[in-house]
Each structure stands twice: as structure tokens, then as C-alpha cells.
A = this chain, B = another copy of it.
């Protein structure tokens, strides 16, 4: 499976809201996940840590819908544009937009990096 094919299948799963399954199928065991923040959650390494972050996000946000545009590909990297309609626990419903950059190595996502609007 080349990067283009992986990107298409990964995107299709995200588009269906199956973020967990996309990760389970495509993350490498030592995947690195980089968030646009400071602190100990900014850079996580390893499948368990990254899965834990995903679970924490779903525990703390009610997801009403997600739009995914892409994949936009170049070489062994691809990017996705996310637009999430969600309600963070105890807060108002909002729209969150971000861009994810994925680096593919040996048929797996070796690194994901997220970019936020400030």
C-alpha cells in the first residue's frame, strides 16, 4: 500500500468518524503525535499514549459531526483539513478547525502533527 492508497483509506475512516480504528490500523507502534500546545501532552510517543489521548478527547467532547477534506498528498506525507462540530464538556457547542499532517514510513503513519487556528 503506497502513501496515496493509505491516505485515501485513512481519510475515508476519519470521514466516517472512525478515528480510533484508523489509528489502530495505520499507526506504527512508535507513532509520534504532536499537538499545537505546550506541556506534557504536546508530544506523545507510542501507540498506547496516542490512543489514550484519543480516548481522553472523546471522553471530554461530544462530537456532533465531522467534515474531512483531503487527502492532500506530497511524497510520503499527506494532510487533512478537519472541521468538527462538537460540544466540550461543560461548554458551548462550537466548531473546531484544524489541519493534520501525516508522515508515512513503511506503510504506517510514523508521525502526525496538528495545526490550529489561534
Contacts and interface: CB of A to CB of B under 8 A. Distances in A.
Contacts of A114: 74
Given A79-B79, A99-B99, A73 B115 contact: yes
Interface in A36-68: 36
Interface in A90-109: 97-99, 101
A73 B4 contact: no
Contacts of A36: 72-75
A72 B113 contact: no
B115 A79 contact: yes
A99 B118 contact: no
A71 B97 CA distance: 11
